[in-house]
Structure 1
Amino acid sequence: MPPLSLTTRLASSRALLRGRAVPTSSRARRAFRATPCTARLDVDIRPASYDDELREKTAQARAWFGPALLPASTPTETFESARESFRMRAEFKIWHDGPRTYYAMCDSDAPKDPVEIVDFPMASERIRELMPLVLKEVTATETLRRKLFQANFLTTTTGDAVVSLLYHRQLDDAWRADADAMRTRLGIDVIGRARKQKLTLDKDFVVERVRVDGFRDLVSYKQLEGSFTQPNAGIAAQMLAWARSAAVSDDPNVDVSSTSTSTRDFLELYCGNGHFTIALAPLFRKCLATEISKTSVSAAQNNMRENGIENCVIARLSAEELCDALDGGREYTRLKDIDLTSYDLQTILVDPPRAGMGESVSNFCTRFDRIVYISCNPETLARDCETLCQTHDIKRFAVFDQFPYTPHLESGALLVKKTTA
């Protein structure tokens, strides 16, 4: 097979964003039926081409904006990933071929054509260590193996690990006994899932600990199994540092840890488990954050307590509902204990889903002096900036390589309100 071009390699990696893999041709998919597996699966790391791939992704991200929104004079702050073992979570199909069981990934267009995964170099060292051990455990007893169809790994940089096993059958006491024995032997937490059933042995979360400038101790984050977490821990820490810097300075060279706490307040939309909230709250007098997911709100409140954040309140509202409330619209029961008039909100951070904020929320954001926009989709970031840049200028632009060797690129923009003559 001739070597693939950079663009083809990036395209063939696209499905990895959801834990799937794409054989590079239909011929390769047909070839899988031979033994041993011969299909080409693009899950290999490519350190030699990493710099070129990141440059191409960065150029594509900037191209969405055009020079009117993002002039060439505004440099790109680039945050590179580790070249391997960077993913803290991974999902694998469990494939059964007669007496043999193995990890597999499939193209979403060919879900019955598995490609065996023996090793996954993108995964954390803990996941790579656990993969063969978990497989050995589940194949050693029919209780764990029978109708098992997926295994999900969630880990941290300090070795904490939860392994979720998904089944096409209900789980019983025999499964619990064997799974608990596996949990003890491997030093992990185990979750068994089936239709309308979840068995947790011993806990359903991990705790990640991150060094953040300005904090005396490591910042800890409770990350729930099944909820969104930042997959690349190294990049996640760099995103926190950039967001803290952008919240208070147009200059990336300013030492944020030496700046005094603002006398004004901070608003965050789409706060999730408090990933950015906790890091930025100490920079401001008070912080108000919103999140629509009940489980994420609970995790964020727990994370604030664990990190001693006392100047922040989280409201379980959508971004649109908070916009309405701040504009004097309807009264929301979930805001009954929050006095919105007590806030002097100057800075806002948004981290919306891939669809972006949309026109109404973007228009709402234009009232703030500083907008820190974290995006998982440069295309929708550029679209929202068409609205935001009517009143603001992009002062800083950053890219964060959360998913090396794939087309995906996280980005960040600092927008500052235009000065009037």
Structure 2
Amino acid sequence: MVYHKQLGDEWSAAARDLRSQLRAAVEAHFASKQQQREQQQEQQQQSARALHVIGRSHKQKVELDEGFVTERLLVNARELVYKQVEGAFSQPNSGIAAQMLSWAQDVTRGSSDHDMLGAPWGQPLELYCGNGNFTVALAPCFRQVIATEVSKASVEAARFNLTANGAENVFIARMAAHEFTETWKSKGTRNRLKGMTPWDELELRTLLVDPPRAGLDDESRQLLGDFSNVVYISCNPETLARDMGAVAATHRVARFAVFDQFPYTDHVECGAYLVWR
């Protein structure tokens, strides 16, 4: 909740009362559905207990009790845990988000970063990794994952999520996509790349991008052609078509999926898996 005046004890007391009412309403709602299995009811009750209230004013933020929620997604029979921080980007539809992660795992199993038996051996590059949404899901599928993200808060959340899910084979660089691209092309060095596998030892063949609605920047778009496999997740079909057009002569669409993240709206999420012709 956002205000134009400072928040004091009176607001905190009212917020606690609101929180109690909301938690009671959530628990009552799910308790009335007798068809829900006991395990589902327990998960939903946990969700109610995890309901937090946040107040914002100028240079002020009051959290009751936390500034994040913990989200659990079941992806291919494995539970993934995510810390979703208030104010940061997250997938709006958890059910569809799980399907997107499952799809990404499925298409990359057939990439050239795997041997004939499907064992991982390469290192994919992920641009715009955010809080590690796809990173967490794909880490077990590869020997190592190199990821970039410019937001400090998102990088911190991503590192938390990787640790929570036992993913130790990921290197995250807090850099903009175009900065990483320029450095990779020149085989240069930056302080934020310390600890990363040396350039000449990296085997980057698969690229995963999940850019904002504006699509890829010019440098990243040019980068598409250097990868034999590209997984492109897009919330804007128009910029997806534009960016795919940049590699139409060298790549073909091997897999394509549409995810209805936003029911009853004109917006749609797309997944495209491109491979060299």
TM-score for the superposition, normalised by structure 2: 0.84
Aligned residue among 338, 345, 364 for 2:223: 364
Question: For 1:229, what is the secondary structure of its paired residue?
Answer: coil
Alignment-mate amino acid for residue 178 of structure 2: E
Contact 1:272 1:297 (C-alpha < 8 Å) held by counterparts: yes
Residue 179 of structure 2 is matched in structure 1 by 321
Aligned residue among 49, 53, 60 for 1:197: 60
Residue 302 of structure 1 is matched in structure 2 by 160
Question: For 2:205, what is the secondary structure of its paired residue?
Answer: strand
Unpaired segments of 5 or more residues in structure 2?
A: 24-48
Residue 41 of structure 2 is matched in structure 1 by none
Compute the displacement of 1:181 (Å): 4.1
Once the two structures are superposed, what CA deviation does each residue of 1:257-300 show, in whole Å capped at 9, x if it has no partner?
Answer: xx643111111000001001111111111101000000000000
Question: For 1:241, what is the secondary structure of its paired residue?
Answer: helix
Question: For 2:246, what is the secondary structure of its paired residue?
Answer: helix
Aligned residue among 109, 112, 132 for 1:274: 132
Question: For 1:166, what is the secondary structure of its paired residue?
Answer: coil
Task: Check if 1:353 corresponds to 2:235.
Answer: no
1 CA distance for matches of 2:119 and 2:75?
A: 16
Residue 158 of structure 1 is matched in structure 2 by none
Residue 225 of structure 1 is matched in structure 2 by 86
Cα 1:416–1:249 change in 2 (3 A) is: same
Unpaired segments of 5 or more residues in structure 1?
A: 1-164, 251-255
Larger radius of gyration: 1
1 CA distance for matches of 2:244 and 2:153?
A: 30
Task: Check if 1:170 corresponds to 2:6.
Answer: yes
Compute the displacement of 1:184 (Å): 4.5
Aligned residue among 205, 208, 211 for 2:74: 211
Residue 56 of structure 1 is matched in structure 2 by none
2 CA distance for matches of 1:233 and 1:340?
A: 36
Question: For 1:236, what is the secondary structure of its paired residue?
Answer: helix
Contact 2:130 2:149 (C-alpha < 8 Å) held by counterparts: yes
Tell me how many residue pairs correspond in the alignment: 245
Contact 2:109 2:118 (C-alpha < 8 Å) held by counterparts: no
2 CA distance for matches of 1:268 and 1:247?
A: 13
Once the two structures are superposed, what CA deviation does each residue of 1:70-129 show, in whole Å capped at 9, x if it has no partner?
Answer: xxxxxxxxxxxxxxxxxxxxxxxxxxxxxxxxxxxxxxxxxxxxxxxxxxxxxxxxxxxx
Compute the displacement of 1:247 (Å): 1.4
2 CA distance for matches of 1:283 and 1:380?
A: 28
Question: For 2:261, what is the secondary structure of its paired residue?
Answer: coil
Contact 1:223 1:299 (C-alpha < 8 Å) held by counterparts: yes
TM-score for the superposition, normalised by structure 1: 0.56
Cα 1:214–1:309 change in 2 (3 A) is: farther
2 CA distance for matches of 1:267 and 1:396?
A: 19
* Of 206-215 and 288-297, the range deviating more from structure 2: 206-215
Residue 291 of structure 1 is matched in structure 2 by 149
Compute the displacement of 1:329 (Å): 5.4
Question: For 1:167, what is the secondary structure of its paired residue?
Answer: coil
Task: Check if 1:392 corresponds to 2:251.
Answer: yes
1 CA distance for matches of 2:77 and 2:263?
A: 29
Compute the displacement of 1:182 (Å): 3.6
Compute the displacement of 1:191 (Å): 0.8
Could you say what the CA RMSD is over the residues aligned between the two structures, in angstroms? 1.8
Alignment-mate amino acid for residue 298 of structure 1: E
Residue 106 of structure 2 is matched in structure 1 by 245
Alignment-mate amino acid for residue 220 of structure 1: V
Structure 1 residue runs of 4 or more that deviate by more than 4 Å after TM superposition: none
Residue 40 of structure 2 is matched in structure 1 by none
Contact 2:5 2:57 (C-alpha < 8 Å) held by counterparts: yes
2 CA distance for matches of 1:330 and 1:212?
A: 37
Contact 1:326 1:340 (C-alpha < 8 Å) held by counterparts: no
2 CA distance for matches of 1:264 and 1:330?
A: 21
2 CA distance for matches of 1:219 and 1:231?
A: 16
Alignment-mate amino acid for residue 89 of structure 2: F
2 CA distance for matches of 1:261 and 1:310?
A: 18
Contact 2:6 2:58 (C-alpha < 8 Å) held by counterparts: yes
Alignment-mate amino acid for residue 64 of structure 2: L
Which fold has the larger relative contact order, with Cα–Cα distance below 8 Å and residues 6 or more apart in sequence?
1
Aligned residue among 261, 285, 290 for 2:119: 261
